[in-house]
Structure 1
């Protein structure tokens, strides 16, 4: 897996991702503690609302930002967004009111909604080989997992000597170092695109995504991930501090347990995906998430919470990590940024529902019932994923183009005037998925 780091461009991008994630991880812990300081036992509701605002920014901004940035230099765009995020994060330690959390989180995530899809779409251009790209996806997932593990551990150590307000400084530093690393490399130029209207560029990724069966299945799995993940992210601080009466340090260690499980799965996935298709791996991960969330209703001690968070972390990573492979093979290279932006927006729409639901239900009907409700949502999502995503998915799909002239370049390329087969993706020549598939 680490062999791909010999690619200097990718290794610097990966390092930038790790450092920015480390800073973001410190912010996650600090934000939860800040919400508890301002709202006490209602911290879950406050944090759930803050994270819902984050998701609104993601869902509403990502496709528009991708369309606006189509013709902008990638490196300049990524560096500018990192600097802007650092400037916003610099204001977080000075928050004294709940509404201020909401405003700054919105601004921070508007920038992230522009940054992340652009960053993700660059990687396949740097690593065009699918095997290398698979390793990069697992390494990227591992980076997220290490952030979930190391950031809480680092936060726990720092909290013994400083106030949690100072953890936000790590977020600022992470974004600035990320900007410097990206500035130090040259990124591949974006593939030349067909000229389209702004409205068409904004909606193109969504149309490709929703017309592709495997991606509709991916969206359902994203809902299962969000339903289970929201319980961990929103209610860990409430479970540990309000229910068990423990300290900020124990909150950090609970997040570390979740990150450890995710890291275990990320390390195992490259070899697993060499032998198994994406679909069974991702559905199995979603099942683990669902069962673990249902078991959360019975947790009555911190000692029981830690292994459960570990198991949910395993499912969380297994269900998500292969998604980049699905996106890569579901669009032409020129449409890749649009389809990554669509996944970013649609997956976060799932979090937009799950975050406030986990927070508000936890405050109103109790955590036990909330665990069961979120597990039920995840179970329904798994059923939808199985329905939308066919178990048999041939690499090449036979189809024909009765609307094309016999001498059309596409038909000449495949040496046929009628039915032919090739790797099928939605594009200008293939606007609908073949019904026979």
Structure 2
């Protein structure tokens, strides 16, 4: 897996991702402390609103940002968004009203909604070999998992010697460091797509998504994963402190178990994907998550909870890491950024629904009911995936073009009925029926 770091361009981009993630982790801790300083006992509501703003920005602005990105130089776009994020964070230590937090969070997440899909779309252009790309996806997943473990510990260590606003400075340094690493990297030029109206470019990724069976299946799977995952992210604190009657350090250990399971899967995935296709691996991972959440009501102690959360974390990584491979084979290079943005927006739309659902059911009917309902939703999603995403998912498909004139260059090159790697584009607007 580490051999992928021999590629100097990916090595720079990976380093940029690491410093940006660490900065983001510090900001998460600092934002919680800032909310407590401004709102006291209502800080939970402030953070909940900030999370909702984040999700709304992701869902609504990612496709717009992708359309803008197609019209701008790739490196300049990424660097500008890093600097915007650094500038927004630099303002947070000076706010004295809750509404100011909301405004700044919106601008911060708007920039992230543009940066993340654009960054994801660069990686397959840098690493053309699928094995190298798979290793890169595993490394990026590993970086995210380790950040969730490392950032709170780094923040705790810093808070022993500095006040919490200094953590925002660490975030500014992280985003600035990311910008420097990107600007000093030679990125491959973006393959230009055919020019079109701006709104058509905004909706292009979603249109490709809806028209591609494996992407529709991926979308339903993301809904199943979000249903199961929301139980972890929303109700772990309540489960540990209320049902198990344990303290905050036990909450951290439970989340560490989830992260540890994800890390184990990250190391195993490159070898697994050499022998198995993405579809069964991802469906199996989602199945592990759903099964784990279904038995959560039976947990009776911290050790069993950590083990179960590790089991669910293992499944989570199995479902999330191969997503880039699916998108990579489902879109032309010129359209890849738009499809990554559609994935980013649609997956976060699922979490936008399941986050409050997990909280409301847990608060109103109890954690056991919440776990069973969320697991049930996830199970229904998995059943739908099996129907929507064909088990025989060939890349090269036999098809014809009854809508094209006989002298069209595409027919002159391939013939009236032909087979090639099939993706939705201007010449291929509908998925061919199985022959």
Q: Find the counterpart in structure 2 of residue 146 from structure 1.
A: 146
Q: How does 1:38-437 map to 2 (within 5 A)?
A: 38=39, 40=41, 43=44, 47-93=47-93, 99-158=99-158, 166-241=166-241, 246-414=246-414, 416=415, 418-436=416-434
Conservation of the 8 A alpha-carbon contact between 1:26 and 1:171: yes
**In the superposition, relative to structure 1, how do residues 142 and 58 fare at CA in structure 2: closer, same or farther (>3 Å)?**
same
SS in structure 2 of the partner of residue 422 of structure 1: strand
**CA distances 1:13-65 after superposition (whole Å, capped 9, x unpaired):** 0111111112223334455566678565983x654443222111001001111
Note the C-alpha offset of 1:171: 2.6
**CA distances 1:379-422 after superposition (whole Å, capped 9, x unpaired):** 121111111101111232111112223332212222x2x21111
Alpha-carbon distance in 2 for matches of 1:321, 1:389: 18
**CA distances 1:308-341 after superposition (whole Å, capped 9, x unpaired):** 2211111111011111011011011111111111
**In the superposition, relative to structure 1, how do residues 87 and 138 fare at CA in structure 2: closer, same or farther (>3 Å)?**
same
Aligned residues: 434
Alpha-carbon distance in 2 for matches of 1:96, 1:178: 29
Alpha-carbon distance in 2 for matches of 1:336, 1:9: 19
Alpha-carbon distance in 2 for matches of 1:381, 1:163: 45
Alpha-carbon distance in 1 for matches of 2:250, 2:162: 16
- RMSD across aligned positions (CA): 2.4
Alpha-carbon distance in 1 for matches of 2:352, 2:146: 25
Alpha-carbon distance in 2 for matches of 1:96, 1:193: 46
Alpha-carbon distance in 1 for matches of 2:225, 2:186: 35
Greater Cα offset, 15-24 or 223-232: 223-232
Note the C-alpha offset of 1:161: 5.7
SS in structure 2 of the partner of residue 90 of structure 1: helix
Alpha-carbon distance in 2 for matches of 1:99, 1:359: 23
Alpha-carbon distance in 1 for matches of 2:423, 2:167: 45
> Which segments of 5 or more consecutive residues in structure 1 lack a partner in the other structure?
none
**In the superposition, relative to structure 1, how do residues 122 and 212 fare at CA in structure 2: closer, same or farther (>3 Å)?**
same
Q: TM-score, normalised by structure 1?
A: 0.91
Greater Cα offset, 395-404 or 343-352: 395-404
Greater Cα offset, 395-404 or 162-171: 162-171
> Which segments of 5 or more consecutive residues in structure 2 lack a partner in the other structure?
none
SS in structure 1 of the partner of residue 152 of structure 2: helix
Alpha-carbon distance in 1 for matches of 2:301, 2:34: 24
Conservation of the 8 A alpha-carbon contact between 1:261 and 1:310: yes
Conservation of the 8 A alpha-carbon contact between 2:70 and 2:192: no
Alpha-carbon distance in 1 for matches of 2:107, 2:261: 31
Alpha-carbon distance in 1 for matches of 2:94, 2:235: 24
**In the superposition, relative to structure 1, how do residues 171 and 234 fare at CA in structure 2: closer, same or farther (>3 Å)?**
farther
Note the C-alpha offset of 1:366: 2.8
Conservation of the 8 A alpha-carbon contact between 1:66 and 1:338: yes
Note the C-alpha offset of 1:239: 3.7
**CA distances 1:104-142 after superposition (whole Å, capped 9, x unpaired):** 322211110010111111111111222221211111111
Note the C-alpha offset of 1:86: 1.8
Alpha-carbon distance in 1 for matches of 2:229, 2:26: 18
**CA distances 1:144-165 after superposition (whole Å, capped 9, x unpaired):** 1222232234345445666666
Note the C-alpha offset of 1:302: 3.1
Alpha-carbon distance in 1 for matches of 2:345, 2:2: 30
Alpha-carbon distance in 1 for matches of 2:364, 2:166: 32
Q: TM-score, normalised by structure 2?
A: 0.92
Note the C-alpha offset of 1:377: 1.8
SS in structure 2 of the partner of residue 425 of structure 1: coil
